[in-house]
Structure 1
């Protein structure tokens, strides 16, 4: 056994020694020492890897070929059995197989089936000219028909998350403001400070002094309440079956009150643009309400300008020459209204 083969066997044994056993998780120490041993294996096999890459004609794809060789070495280590053969036998077959597969994927036109139909490999990054004579790549000419839907869906999800966070911040600020006002009012209504001499009048402090411990306790409560509401509003709501029934009911009530307050904030806060506004329903008509008269196209006969006219029946023109009395009716059609003198 040569020195190179012995060093390779020792490096492979170090890699195998730091692999996790069945059912165990690999520790950070094992991972670090295993990576160092694997790097030593790749360093020893570097001349062999360069030889195989040139042999299979993949010098133009050197980075991809090295990655495939690293995958082949890793598979050879996993399948290595020292009792059957040396490691060089295992790794040679793995390297050849990986490089052969890479060559078939990159050079599909070299297959016998491709040579029969004179197929050629075309890169998506190759520059071509379109109908207008502009240079473009094939990759940029491929149209994804679902790109717009995915973009709109992602944008909608992003806006929904941002809006939810903004509403939660506004809700917490509202609760904080209400609690601070209560603490200030409670501090101002505390008992007055009595001076030593009881004959002198009492006096009150001008500004309310709030205990910092109360403020810290308030922030803890607000943080806990925000987490409860955020879990309720999240898309993947966690399972609460393991919680105590009383605690689960308490969280449900907290989320219910929060939803009502958040809806009021969204409707009144101009930052959210009235996103919860809805058209108001039409008021129901009561029996005592007066109904407006329906519109009609007939003239109002009570109007002053309609009282001077009279309406007569229109006789068809075909009957004017048959009945003498029809001629008298036709003359009445052109008669002026009463009280109107012609010029």
Structure 2
């Protein structure tokens, strides 16, 4: 037995000794000792890894091959029985199997079915020379058919969200201006005249100002959650103290006001352009259903004449007489 084989057997025995029993949770000390013993085994087997990787022609996939070798060693340790064979012999077959599987996954031209048709494996990272003499990788030439659609959809979502956010901010600013004007009109005229005569501005009630800001902030939160899909229709946000009907009224008033802003403010001219299209769709959806009478303007009905029942001439009443034999006779 060589020194490397003896050291490998000792490292495997140490790993089997320090690891936690099956079905139990290892302690932090056991995990550290197991990782150190496993790293020692990988270090002793590293020359064998390099030999097998070259033998199977996986030099261009060195990192993947090393990962497969580590997986093979882990499986060998889990299934190793010292009384049946040495670990050196047992781990060789595990490494060979993992590398063979990796080669079939990466180098499909090694399969018998691929050799029949002379298939060749080409890496996407390999470089090719174009007609203009410039080199580029095959990966850069692969076209993603859905890339343009995803990009346009993401850009559209971003612009729509930004426009909706600006429209909500404009609505809040307009509501703040209207609330302040209402508060100024409610202020006593004497205080307003005294403040203007003194050259200053009329001071407003701080509590009323705080109430206005709190209400606007609440409305802003409700609108953002409803517009961006974070709040279902007619549902009240938690902690707002509102019921569903109040939330519905807030959304209804805000929708009407924001529609007017979109038509009046040139910043939202694009949004206003969609209004005729939406109105035409709604009018078509609300159009009455066709009647049961045939259309006289249709090509196949031009030779016919459609007359309403009310325009028909009245029919004379029919009287009946009884014959001697008992049968009825029309007169």
- TM, length-normalised to structure 2: 0.57
Say yes or no: does 1:270 pair with 2:266. Answer: yes
Instruction: Tell me if structure 1 keeps the 8 A contact 2:69–2:99.
Output: yes
Instruction: Tell me if structure 1 keeps the 8 A contact 2:126–2:137.
Output: yes
Give the RMSD, CA atoms, in angstroms. Answer: 4.9
Instruction: Tell me if structure 2 keeps the 8 A contact 1:109–1:118.
Output: yes
3-state secondary structure, aligned to 1:260: helix
Residues 111 and 221 (structure 1), Cα distance of their counterparts in 2 relative to 1, 3 Å cut: same
**Which residue does the alignment assign to 1:336?**
none
Q: After the TM superposition, which of the residue ranges 212-221 and 104-113 deviates more from structure 2?
A: 212-221
Say yes or no: does 1:189 pair with 2:188. Answer: yes
Instruction: Tell me if structure 2 keeps the 8 A contact 1:73–1:95.
Output: yes
Distance of 2:163 and 2:276 partners within structure 1: 22
Number of corresponding residues: 257
Deviation at 1:18, TM superposition (A): 5.6
3-state secondary structure, aligned to 1:263: helix
**Which residue does the alignment assign to 2:285?**
none
Say yes or no: does 1:225 pair with 2:225. Answer: no
Q: After the TM superposition, which of the residue ranges 254-263 and 150-159 deviates more from structure 2?
A: 150-159
**Which residue does the alignment assign to 1:4?**
11
Structure with greater proportional helix content: 2
Deviation at 1:125, TM superposition (A): 2.8
Residues 102 and 175 (structure 1), Cα distance of their counterparts in 2 relative to 1, 3 Å cut: farther
- Structure 1: tracts of 5 or more residues without a match: 20-29, 194-201, 282-343
Distance of 1:15 and 1:209 partners within structure 2: 78
Larger Rg over CA atoms: 1
**Which residue does the alignment assign to 1:178?**
178
Residues 3 and 243 (structure 1), Cα distance of their counterparts in 2 relative to 1, 3 Å cut: same
- 1:124-178 residue CA offsets vs partner (Å, 9 max, x unmatched): 2322234455544333333344433333222222221222222222222222333
Distance of 1:275 and 1:69 partners within structure 2: 61
**Which residue does the alignment assign to 2:20?**
13
**Which residue does the alignment assign to 2:309?**
none
Distance of 1:36 and 1:181 partners within structure 2: 72
Distance of 2:206 and 2:73 partners within structure 1: 63
Instruction: Tell me if structure 2 keeps the 8 A contact 1:12–1:37.
Output: yes
Deviation at 1:259, TM superposition (A): 1.0
Residues 55 and 268 (structure 1), Cα distance of their counterparts in 2 relative to 1, 3 Å cut: same
Distance of 2:12 and 2:133 partners within structure 1: 59
3-state secondary structure, aligned to 1:13: coil
